[in-house]
Amino acid sequence: MAISPKARPYLIVVIVVLVVAGIVVARMPKDEPTATPTATATATTAPVVDAEGGDGAGDAYYPQDGNTGYDVGAYDVSVGYDPATKRLDGVAKITATATADLSRFNLDLYSLEVTGVDVRGQAADFRQEGDHELVVTPATPLASGEEFTTTVRYGGEPTLFEDRALGRSGWQISSSGGAFAAGEPHSATTWFPANDTPRDKASFALTARVPEGWSVISNGVEGGSTTADGWTSFRWVAEQPMATYLTTIAIDRWTVERSALPDGTPVVDAYAPGAEAGRQHEERLPEVLAFLAEKFGPYPFSSAGGIFLADDIGFSLETQTRPIYAGWADLDTVVHENAHQWFGDSVSLENWADICLNECFASYAQWLWAEAKQGVDLDDRYRAEVERVGERETYWGRKLYDMGRGNEFRGVYDKGQLALHALRRQIGDPAFDRVLKDWVAANRGGNASWPEFEAHAEQVSGQDLDAFFTAWFRGDQAPADEFLYPGPLRR
C-alpha cells in the first residue's frame, strides 16, 4: 500500500495523539456460479460432536480476525449490485478443508445480513454475533481432513471500516456513483464472507451482476460477460492463492484497455471517468514489471494491470494482479504497488507485525527504480536523508518490526528505505540480490515472517546480523554509527 503524501503528516499526528492518550485503536475494526461438488470425509472415525472452531486466527494485533478449524481452498462469489439503490445481494461458495473435528465454525462478514447457509448442500443453523462473526452449525459435524463447501446467502447495503489510525477501508462509493472495495488490513468482509486472515490464502472467483452501462473489474483473468434483461454479468477468476484483503471489486463506467506483456501475460487496465491521467504512468507497466523481475525473479502471477480511480482516497493498494490507484497516483506509486506483487502478494506476511516485509521492500523498490532509470546515487540520497532527520526521536522511534497495532504504517515508507539500503551496504550487492530473489522463490504463494527473513539474510550473507537487525528493525533509536554507515556508506 502507498499512502497519499497529503495523508502522511495527518496519519503521524493521529498516531501520536493516540499513543499519548493511551488509546487502543478499536477495529471498526442472481446469477450463481456452478456449485462445487462436495467431497466425502476421509476420516475413519466419527468426528467429535462438541468440537468448535475458534473465532480468531490469533494475530496479536487483530486477535479476532480470521478463524481456526479449517483451511479455505477457494472462494466463488456471486453478487448483484445496483448503484442506484446501493444494495448488494450475494451468494458465496467457500470450499475448505477441516483441520479439526468441527461441530460448528465461524466466518467473518461485516454488517451485511445473512439469510441462509448450507454446508455439504444441507441447510445449516447460523447466527450473527458482534460486528463480524457468522457462526455456522452444520447438520452433522465435520471430520478433520474433510473437504466441504459452505454456501452463504446474504445482502444489504455494504459499508466500510473506520479506523482512527489507518483510515477508511472496505466498500466505498466512488465520485462517479459506482463503488469499489479496497483497504488494509480489512476490506473483503464488507462484501463477502471469508476467513479474514492473511494466513489463509485461497483462489478467488467472482461473478458480478450490474445494470447495463456499468462494468466490473476484479482480480485475475477475465472470464467474459453476458447481458440480458438490462443487466450485465462479469466473470473474473484468480487461480493463484490470495489473501482476502487483496481481493477487490470495482464498479464504474470504465474505459478498459487490454494488452499483453512480452511473454503473453494478459494485461487489463481500467480508468474511471476523470482518471485518464493515470494512463501515462500505466503505459510503462511492461517496463516496470520487467525491471522488478530482474530484481526479484519472475513475475509471480498469470495476469496484470491496474484500476485507476478518479477519487483522491488516502491510499493506493496492491490488490493482487491489478492494483487499485487513487487519483493522486504517480509512476513511483505504480512501481511501489507492483513491487508488492512479489513482496506482500505472492509472499504474504504471517502476522501484521511483519508488515515491513510488504512495505519496506515495495518502498525500496522505488529507490532501485530511481537508481536504474534516473541515475540517482543512492548512497548520496541515503546520507542526505540521515543528515536531514538528524537525531529526531519522532523519526527513529518508529519500529519497523512489531511496531504495535495502529502503528503498522508509520515508519515503513521512509525509515524502511534507509534500513534496506543499509542492509544492502552491510552485506554487499551480490548477497543482497540473492537475498531478494531466493526469499521470493522459497516462499512463493505462501506466508512468511520477519524473523524468518532475518535468518534467511544471515544464511545467504554468511554474516551474524543480529545486532544490525536489532538496531534498524527492532529498535526505536538512531542506530549506532557502525550500523548507520556500514561498508561504503562510511566516509
User: What CATH code is carried by the domain that includes residue 55?
Assistant: 2.60.40.1730
pLDDT score at 161: 84
The verdict on 104 and 207 lying in the same domain is yes
Among 345, 366, 382, give the residue marking a domain's end: 345
Amino acid at 345: D
Among 249, 284, 316, give the residue marking a domain's end: 249
How many of the other CB atoms lie within 10 Å of CB of 3?
19
Q: Is residue 4 in some structural domain? A: no
pLDDT score at 337: 98
Q: In CATH, what number is assigned to the domain containing residue 461?
A: 1.10.390.10
User: The domain containing residue 289 runs over which residues?
Assistant: 254-345
Which helix (H) or strand (E) segment is 171 a member of?
A: strand 167-173
Which helix (H) or strand (E) segment is 295 a member of?
A: helix 285-296
Assessment of whether the complete model's pTM goes beyond 0.85? yes
**Eight-class DSSP state of 482:** H
Rg of the Cα atoms in the chain? 23
**What is d(CA 41, CA 39) in angstroms, rounded to the nearest whole number?**
7
**What is d(CA 481, CA 483) in angstroms, rounded to the nearest whole number?**
5
Q: Which of 159, 109, 111, 166 is nearest to 313 (CA)?
A: 166
Residue 475, judged by CB atoms within 10 A of its CB (0-12, 13-18, 19+), counts as: middle
Q: Which of 247, 229, 121 is nearest to 186 (CA)?
A: 247
Q: Is residue 364 in some structural domain? A: yes
Block means of pLDDT (10 residues each) for the chain, 491 residues, are 62 40 36 41 54 79 92 98 98 98 96 97 96 95 98 96 76 95 94 97 98 98 97 98 98 98 98 96 98 98 98 94 96 98 98 98 98 98 97 96 94 98 98 98 98 98 98 97 95 71
The verdict on 333 and 417 lying in the same domain is no
Are 299 and 288 within 8 A, CB to CB? Answer: no
Amino acid at 125: D
State how far the alpha carbon of 355 is from the alpha carbons of 87, 205, 343, 409, in Å: 34, 26, 10, 8
The verdict on 56 and 203 lying in the same domain is yes
Q: Is residue 452 in some structural domain? A: yes
Q: What is the strand order of the sheet 255-260 is part of?
A: 255-260, 266-271, 304-308, 324-325
The verdict on 453 and 379 lying in the same domain is yes
How many CA atoms does the CB half-sphere of 83 hold within 13 Å?
21
pLDDT score at 408: 94
Q: Is residue 128 in some structural domain? A: yes
The verdict on 244 and 361 lying in the same domain is no
pLDDT score at 47: 64
Alpha helices in 321-476 (DSSP H): 331-339, 356-374, 378-389, 393-396, 415-427, 429-443, 450-461, 466-469
Q: Is 87 helix (H, G, I), strand (E, B) or coil?
A: strand
The verdict on 311 and 260 lying in the same domain is yes
The verdict on 242 and 264 lying in the same domain is no
Are 194 and 77 within 8 A, CB to CB? Answer: no
Q: Is residue 39 in some structural domain? A: no
- The residues that bridge with 116 in the sheet, in sequence order, are 153
Q: Is residue 330 in some structural domain? A: yes
Among 345, 374, 393, give the residue marking a domain's end: 345
The verdict on 73 and 210 lying in the same domain is yes
pLDDT score at 57: 80
How many of the other CB atoms lie within 10 Å of CB of 221?
18
Q: The C-alpha cell of 373 is what?
A: 532509470
Q: Give 149's contacts (C-beta < 8 A, 6+ positions apart).
A: 35, 36, 37, 38, 93, 94, 95, 96, 119, 120, 121
Are 162 and 128 within 8 A, CB to CB? Answer: no
How many domains is the chain partitioned into structurally? Answer: 3
Q: Is 93 helix (H, G, I), strand (E, B) or coil?
A: strand
How many CA atoms does the CB half-sphere of 466 hold within 13 Å?
1
Which helix (H) or strand (E) segment is 8 a member of?
A: helix 7-21
The verdict on 105 and 139 lying in the same domain is yes
The verdict on 356 and 340 lying in the same domain is no
Q: Which of 182, 143, 157 is nearest to 322 (CA)?
A: 182
The verdict on 227 and 314 lying in the same domain is no
The verdict on 196 and 292 lying in the same domain is no
Q: What is the strand order of the sheet 133-137 is part of?
A: 105-108, 133-137, 125-129
Q: Is residue 301 in some structural domain? A: yes
Q: Is residue 340 in some structural domain? A: yes
